[in-house]
Structure 1
């Protein structure tokens, strides 16, 4: 696959895009299998080569009359990547409209070198049904009246934009969003239908970047869990409840724990709509008291689970499903759980064209602890 932005030297994030995709996948499989050691490996699950990213985090730069949507280059100048071929088509289609919205509403792009301006980023997420969540990350409330004034125009141009909000990030920090969210639409939940299950994403909630590959990841987890037949499941770092809702079943107690209140709110609504008894709690996954469930699911950030590994090793959990986006920290954490033996693994290529890899590992307790 070729990208005009890469060819022009405007973007270098997809560092392996020039390598044929089958070769990329084979290399990732070799690297992760060497890092994690011998176990039963299912065939790697591939991604589409283009149009697979459901979210775009576009830094806004330039001027009100000529804004750029993309990244910052040398000196803090904007590099426009509005037509990035990695984004899903509805996300790409929205970019010219959003660029015009910046001009119409007089939203001054934030200048990083000068520390002046109002609009820092535009965050766009696309659902499998083609609906959009659009969030304007602002420095202050100064531009809110102008955004509201032109909201009808935006919704007319993008009728698939069902969730629109503003986020306030007043400080000069390298963050994507702040703590305050101001809704512009009555609806504030984006439906991410995955394997016939409606997962509900609220602004600020986390969802996997690649919907199709995430669906395969959840299917595999559900299949391995079905074979293990747990009576109780604890889904730690549960996000919007992807694993928990896929692993729910008759006569099975399932609880999800997540630090993000926004994500838990969406998960609870999804569970209620589905009519399932899955329970979701707001809390620190590393400090929970649910480690004696028959099956524990962990899906941590790139830093891994840290001290939680030793607690899991000492728990009564018979199985652990560990979903990791960082094979290095995954290998470290597996070494800290000697009582739990890795028996199966599968690579899911959530992030084509770079070295990142999502791996799902099933661990089984070598000796069942007496309760």
Structure 2
């Protein structure tokens, strides 16, 4: 019995030694937390390309997977110029998260949470992606330069409503932007949003060919006509860069030698025919604006950042829209229904100047829309 008791005590001693070793291992906090960090670092990041099926991906990111990969390839090198910081969100995921943020399909905080970042970091990412995209605007947002390009654009408009000489249609949209403070925290709701006026020139294929962005306070812009008068596109027409060609505008603009608007009160059949042709030919511009704002819902909401940041974002969204139109991206329904845009700028009230400029339009109507000329064009 005595020997058996000694053996039992020896077993207990061995157990105490093993427990002590385990205790020392668990109390070594440095090694313990280091192991935890290694384990956390090896966790797979969220990857929309593999984690979402095609339909859900298009709903969230506004493009097909194939087309978004093309966008990433176009701007990835410019995004990776800066040195990679510790724990930085991968470049591909930055581009994806920015486009999803601009899509406006969910609350901004949910978009940030989905990509594992704070809203403040999300705003920084969108500003960075917008800056890179907007730097490429001259390649994707431009009026036709060669004679063949100009003729092709004119034919595409003429095929719609049998209206000759048209090389573009002008539309305006006002976008809200809300400045953020130095810590990138969003301003309180008591602070009023600022506004940015955008002027678009669209073609018959729903692409944005020219973009002008200004603040309402700049040169006291109060009407769409005042903004057009200050725009680069008007200056280019005055310099005869598009000699013999015209732009179309809606009733919120003033008729001029290069910009034709509908006749407010048609007096004869030729003016009725002109108005009908104008409405048909102007329709692609309305559809272009509607498709653009449906794809990027943030345009109907609020952009976060300064005026310059908002300009870069709108330019980036116009560029992304043109890419989608060029690649015929099917993620946004391109139905035949065209809803009229809600006016966001006041019409011109200068009736005297309007009467003077109407002479060019009357001459145009007489040349192309008298009954005899219309019959010849149809033949």
Task: Give the number of the structure whose residues are more often helix, by fraction.
Answer: 2
Q: Same fold (TM over 0.5)?
A: no
Task: Give the number of the structure whose residues are more often strand, by fraction.
Answer: 1
TM score, norm. by length of structure 1: 0.29
Structure 1 or 2, whichever has the larger Rg, is: 2
